Amino acid sequence: MTAQKKRGLGRGLDALFGPTNPTQQSTPMSEMAEVSIADITPNPLQPRRDFDEEALQELATSISELGVIQPITLKRQQDGKYIIISGERRWRASQIAGLETLPAYIRDVDDEDLHAMALVENIQRENLNAIEIALGMQRLVEECGLTQEAMAQKVGKKRSTVSNYMRLLTLPSEVQLALKEGIISMGHAKAIAALDHDLQIKALKRCVKKSLSVRQAEDLARKFSEAPQSATAEEEDYPESYSRLVMELERVLSDNIAIKRTKSGTTRITIECANDKEVEMLVAKLNDIK
C-alpha cells in the first residue's frame, strides 16, 4: 500500500498546545519550566498503547547528544506533580538517556481538553493506528460525556469520519488485530464492517489470503451481502492440495472460483461469471494459456 500524505486535523496544534517553538514567549495559559522527570507521570488515557523499544533507544541516543529539542506539554496536578499531555516518547527516552529534568510547557486544562490534546497530538505527530485512534475517541465520548458531534468538533474531524473510526470497535477482535498490525488497512476494515457479523471473519480471511486491494475488498463485501452462501465456498476442511488448486486457477483464470467435494468423493470446480462479457474474458484467458 502506498504511503499517503498525512492530513492534519482541522484545529492547529498551536491552538491546542500553545507555542511549539521554545523561543516563543509563553501565553497566560502556558508557562515554560524545567521539570523533574521524577515528578512527571504518563497520561493513563494516552491513546498510544505501544512504544517501539528500538525507536525509543534511538531517540534516547539523540537526546544524549543533542538534548531535548522539543519541550513536552504537561498539566499541573493539585499535588504539584505533572501529567503528560504530549511527549510521552520524549519522557521515556529521556529516562533511558539518564536525564533528571525536562523542558516543558505547563498548561492549565480540564480533563476533557487533556484527553483531546493527547489524541490530537498523537494523530498528527505519532501516526497512531486506526484502532488506537478509535479507542481514543471512544474515551472522549464515554469518559468526558461528549456526543460524537461534540467530539468531532473538538478534534477537528468530520462527524462521518468519527463514526467510521468508532465503527471499527464493533468489529471482531481478529479484524481489529489485523488492522492494528497493518495486515489490512482502514479501507479494508470499513468494507468488512459493512457486512453482517457472521460474515466479517470470512471476509477478513479472504482479504488476507488473496491480498485483496481495498476496491476488491469492497467488491467482495458487496458479493457476500448479495449472496451470503458464496462466503462458505472455501470453509470446508479440504486437503492443502485443494487450496493450492483454487489459488492457481484464480491466478490465471478468475477470482470467483469455488471448489466442492461431494459425499461420494468427487470434486466439482465452479467458475462464477456474472455476465456474458465475463465468459468472453474467460475464454480469452484460456486461449492465452494455449
Residues with a catalytic annotation lie at 88
First CA to last CA distance, the chain: 34
Length of the chain: 290
User: Distance between CA atoms of 43 and 51, rounded to whole angstroms?
Assistant: 14
The DSSP secondary-structure symbol of 70 reads S
The DSSP secondary-structure symbol of 232 reads G
User: Distance between CA atoms of 229 and 235, rounded to whole angstroms?
Assistant: 11
Query: Using an 8 Å Cβ cutoff, are 94 and 63 in contact?
Result: yes
Query: Using an 8 Å Cβ cutoff, are 123 and 157 in contact?
Result: no
Task: Give which of 153, 201, 216, 176 is closest to 16, Cα–Cα.
Answer: 153
Q: What is the CA radius of gyration of the chain?
A: 26
State the residue for C-alpha cell 470499513.
190
User: Distances in Å between the alpha carbon of 286 and those of 50, 114, 115, 290?
Assistant: 49, 62, 59, 7
Query: Using an 8 Å Cβ cutoff, are 102 and 126 in contact?
Result: no
User: Distance between CA atoms of 86 and 107, rounded to whole angstroms?
Assistant: 11
